[in-house]
Amino acid sequence: MPGPNEQDLRDSKFFQVDLTAKRVLGPAPHVPGTLAMNLVSVTVDQPQYWPNEKVHLKVLMPGRPWAKLKASWQKRDANRQQQAGALDGQGVAVLLLMDGEKKRLELGEFRVDVETEDGTASGSATFAVVEGTLGALSLAHEFKQVTSVAELDQAKGAWFMGNAAGPGSRWGNGLSFKNELRVANQPYEGDARCLSRCMLPGCNGCEAGAPLALKVEKGLVAGTIDVGGHSGPFQIELVTAKGSLRHQFEGSSHVERDMVEASGGVTWDHRAGLAPYEKTVQVPGRQLFLDSSKGEQAPFEVESLVARMGALTIRIAQKVTAPALGIWEPRPAGTFEPRTEELADLEPGRELGVRVAVPYSLVTIGGFVGGVFRE
């Protein structure tokens, strides 16, 4: 039996389609080259250190056992220092970067960058070295990322971004926070000024908005700072009669706040970002926040990108003939492989439960609606 005429074949975004026979032949050949996943975690053992402490770095790179590492770190506006290391058989490494017992650590903000020797995976982390005593000001709780006022009220320490123009806007943002301010390890009572600072290179810690005058009772410190005219990342500086302290909010820079389109042709418009914006939905266990809104009606509907019980739900809104389903699943080296399923014609109202692999999968579906290919 002769194969399809090459003139009848077309590559869509995700599929190779025979337009004459009205059938999907398989995944489009250009898709694998556009997919890659870098599973990398680079962290230090604490966000702030005193000058006499040790700084340890933990690197997780699943799928890259025994890979050699290059680590470099520097204080802001200072020379970079280098260190080599290697992952173990599980893709884990713990490195001692600095030892304050041997040499007192310099005060300031530091950044550490790590990459594999072949350059295929990389990550970074930040930390600060501060001068402190037992009588110094401190925050009692870690700042949790939340996405609503209700969550902020319930948490002991938390923060989120808000913007009337919606998540991801570079300008017009406000940052709401809450924590417990302590002095000599006891809840602070009294007045405090909260300064907002933009740490973007070039701004270098300038005030990002008007300061807040706060009345702290039983240690509770909370407020919303207007940072709408700056790009971030943002710090708050709490100034009291007992001293002052700063905290920088991870995820508050304009790069992390940017929202990226994560879907198309599924009736709902889904965007993803790294900043905890109000009214977004956090992907469980990940620093990934989703913003969803109803878009143009399509033959397929996906209301949520978060799998439930390991499956993504696709609802069929119009009759689809010769449909095909393609699930691109991650492999340990960071590549993706397709799993393609041909389906019987789909009637309106039907729901498909598509099994997906962790941590992320690309799900594609296509078919003919009224003789026109849709995906």
For residue 350, pLDDT over 60 is answered with: yes
Q: What secondary structure does DSSP assign to 27-75, as a single string?
A: E-TTSGGG------EEEES-SEE-TTSEEEEEEE-TT-TT-EEEEEEEE
Above 70 in pLDDT, residue 131? Answer: no
In this structure, is residue 317 part of a structural domain? yes
**What would the pLDDT profile of 244-297 be if each residue is shown by its tens digit?**
888 888 888 888 888 999 999 999 999 999 999 999 999 988 889 999 999 999
Q: Which of 108, 129, 150 is the last residue of a domain?
A: 129
- 190 within some domain: yes
Is the same domain home to 141 and 245? Answer: yes
Both 355 and 308 in one domain: the answer is: yes
Do 110 and 174 belong together in one domain? Answer: no
pLDDT digits (tens, 9 = 90+) for 175-217: 999 999 999 889 999 999 999 988 887 787 888 889 999 999 9
Number of domains in the chain: 3
If asked whether residues 46 and 30 sit together in one domain, one would say: no
- CATH at 243: 2.60.40
Q: How confident is the model at residue 3 (pLDDT cuts 50, 70, 90)?
A: low
Answer yes or no: do 96 and 145 share one domain: no
What is the per-residue pLDDT for 1? 45
Tokens linked to 165: 């123009």
Tell me, yes or no, whether 45 and 66 share the same domain: yes
Residue 267 domain-assigned?
A: no
- pLDDT per residue over 30-72, tens digit each? 988 888 877 888 989 887 788 899 999 999 987 788 999 999 9
68 with 106, same domain?
yes
Model confidence over 16-25: pLDDT tens digits?
999 888 989 8
- Does position 140 have pLDDT exceeding 60, yes or no? yes
Last residue of a domain, one of 203, 229, 255: 255
CA–CA gap between residue 287 and residue 276 (Å, rounded): 8
Asked if 28 and 47 sit in the same domain, the reply is no
- For residues 135-163, one letter each, b for 16 or more C-beta atoms within 10 angstroms of the residue's C-beta and e for the rest, the string is ebbbbeeebbbbbbeebbeebebbbbbbb
> The whole model's pTM is what?
0.78
Range among 22-36, 115-129, 148-162 rated most confident: 148-162
Domain encompassing residue 240: 137-255
Last residue of a domain, one of 129, 150, 170: 129
